[in-house]
């Protein structure tokens, strides 16, 4: 599986489109980021992808974890976000009544 690597300078709409395309085809995508700015861009991209997938009645489940990656011979800690699709039930699409 191809890992989508997100940096601080990544365009959120482009990353979101890639995430949504992979999820429609494979039902599972992995996004990896190092640093606060990159993680911020990754999360925003996932939120945008979620709105793209909602048009196909697909929701997402997100599983975050730390992973060690080797960059130029040095070990760095990255955030890996595993995203899976799930069908959206009609009840989940409707607003909850206010009491």
Distance separating alpha carbons of residues 1 and 13, to the nearest angstrom: 21
Tokens of 30: 């992995």
Q: Has this prediction a pTM greater than 0.75? A: yes
State the Cα angle at 42 between 85 and 19, rounded to 5°: 40
> What is the domain-level CATH number for residue 45?
3.30.110.20
How does DSSP assign 36-93, residue by residue?
Answer: HHHHHHHHHHHHHHHHHHHTTTEEEEEEEEEEEEEETTEEEEEEEEEEEEEEPPHHHH
Whether 94 is covered by a domain: the verdict is no
5-14 pLDDT tens trace: 999 999 999 9
Total count of domains within the chain: 1
Has residue 26 got a pLDDT over 60? yes
Look at residue 95 and tell me if it is in a domain.
Answer: no
Strand order in the sheet with 58-71: 3-6, 28-33, 74-87, 58-71
Domain extent, residue 53, equals: 3-88
- Looking at the domain assignment, is residue 93 inside a domain? no
In a domain, 35, yes or no: yes
pLDDT tens per residue, range 59-93: 999 999 999 999 999 999 999 999 999 988 765 45
Position 10 scores a pLDDT of 97
- Region 23-42: mean pLDDT is 97
> Does residue 68 lie in a domain region?
yes
Is residue 47 situated within a structural domain?
yes
């Amino acid at each position: 599986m191809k890992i989508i690597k997100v940096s601080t300078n990544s365009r959120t709409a482009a990353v979101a489109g890639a995430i949504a395309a992979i999820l429609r085809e494979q039902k599972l995508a992995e996004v990896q980021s190092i640093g606060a700015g990159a993680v911020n861009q990754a999360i925003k991209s996932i939120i945008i992808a979620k709105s793209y997938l909602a048009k196909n009645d697909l929701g997402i489940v997100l599983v975050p974890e730390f992973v060690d990656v080797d960059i130029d011979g040095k070990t760095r800690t990255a955030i890996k976000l595993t995203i899976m699709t799930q069908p959206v039930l009609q009840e989940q699409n409707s607003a909850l009544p206010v009491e």
